[in-house]
Amino acid sequence: MTADDDVADFLDAADEMATAGRLVLARLLAEEAAARVGDDTEAARILALYPAHNLDQEA
């Protein structure tokens, strides 16, 4: 498994969580993907797709 595969797996999981309404978890997964991507511009693009949410919003 390559680093690109890891990033893709985290983004797939983030998409699933966002679709399920688990926005905080989606953001956390996106943050992990962004940390692994190795390119600041791409990391910023990933994080922009999954805005940070307050934990109370998921309750």
Q: What local confidence, expressed as pLDDT, does residue 4 receive?
A: 73
59 vs 40, higher pLDDT: 40
Which domain, by its residues, includes 26? 3-58
Q: What local confidence, expressed as pLDDT, does residue 56 receive?
A: 62
Instruction: Let me know if 5 is exposed, middle or buried by CB neighbors in 10 A (0-12, 13-18, 19+).
Output: exposed
Cα 48 from Cα 3, distance rounded (Å)? 21
pTM: 0.84
pLDDT digits (tens, 9 = 90+) for 8-37: 999 999 999 999 999 999 999 999 999 999
User: Which are the contacts of 18, defined by CB distance < 8 A and separation ≥ 6?
Assistant: 26, 50
Domain tally, the chain: 1
Q: What local confidence, expressed as pLDDT, does residue 53 receive?
A: 74
Q: What local confidence, expressed as pLDDT, does residue 44 receive?
A: 97
